[in-house]
Amino acid sequence: MSTLFDTHPKPFRVGGFVPLTTVDYPGELSAVVFAQGCPWRCRYCHNPNLLPARADTQWRWQDVLKTLERRRGLLDAVVFSGGEPVMQSCIRDAIMQVRALGFKVGLHSAGIYPKRLAGLLPLIDWIGLDVKALPANYPGITTVHASGRAAWASVAQVLASKVAHQFRITVHPLLTPAEQVDEIERRLLDLGAQEVVRQPVRTERCFDKSLELSFAEASETQQEQRLEA
């Protein structure tokens, strides 16, 4: 007879695990599972160690599940973050295992796989979806052709699903000018978004070193943009 902790033929690849946070799923005490792997190479990505899908990690999915089982009653939810969690086709099984433990499920995604995301939305309770730019401007950030089409198709999937959501406009002062951020927000609200927030990039550490800014430089650039807008 199989158990919850049987080794799946292709277990979820975990790049990091935070056992308790209050900020990754609004209003819920959560644990966060960071997926190993992402197909994009955003110039401002501050977590390049999570990008290679096959990198060795210190985490095993079965051990994460065992930890979660011990925390039943102490946590409300488990959030899949990344990297890009939807990259792994086995995420569906991982979500079902977490649900079987009685937790709500949150998902952080950049919207890279809209079709797979559509199949997962009925299984999750809340999604935080990154919106990096207007569609045409995505490749200048992600370095991937047609990435904007995928991300905005995911926006449409989330809105059609009625799952509780938060769209997070990722803002780097050198890549996302203030007027573009305003336009993204306006489009999302026009489409029917429940919640849109602005999420500043941590500019002290970027995949593309030319984008690294000190806190003072980033603040100064944002101030100049506000004055110009």
Which residues here bind ligand SF4, judged by CB under 6 A? 38, 40-42, 45, 51, 82-84, 110
Non-local (6+) Cβ contacts of 2 within 8 A are none
Question: In terms of CB distance, is 42 or 213 closer to ligand SF4?
Answer: 42
Closest distance between ligand SF4 and the C-beta of residue 186, in Å?
A: 23
What is the number of other CB atoms lying within 10 angstroms of the CB of residue 203? 21
Question: In terms of CB distance, is 41 or 205 closer to ligand SF4?
Answer: 41
The DSSP output letter for 51 is: -
* Per-state percent for the chain, helix, strand, coil, to nearest 5: 40, 20, 40
Question: In terms of CB distance, is 62 or 137 closer to ligand SF4?
Answer: 137
Question: In terms of CB distance, is 45 or 75 closer to ligand SF4?
Answer: 45
Closest distance between ligand SF4 and the C-beta of residue 110, in Å?
A: 4
Alpha carbon distance 86, 119 (integer Å): 10
User: Phi, psi (5° rounding) for residue 121?
Assistant: -55, -40
Closest distance between ligand SF4 and the C-beta of residue 189, in Å?
A: 23
Question: In terms of CB distance, is 65 or 151 closer to ligand SF4?
Answer: 151
Q: Degrees (nearest 5) of the Cα angle 210, 39, 80? A: 105
Closest distance between ligand SF4 and the C-beta of residue 132, in Å?
A: 8
Cis peptide bond upstream of 83, omega within 30: yes
- Longest Cα–Cα distance in the chain: 66
Closest distance between ligand SF4 and the C-beta of residue 174, in Å?
A: 15
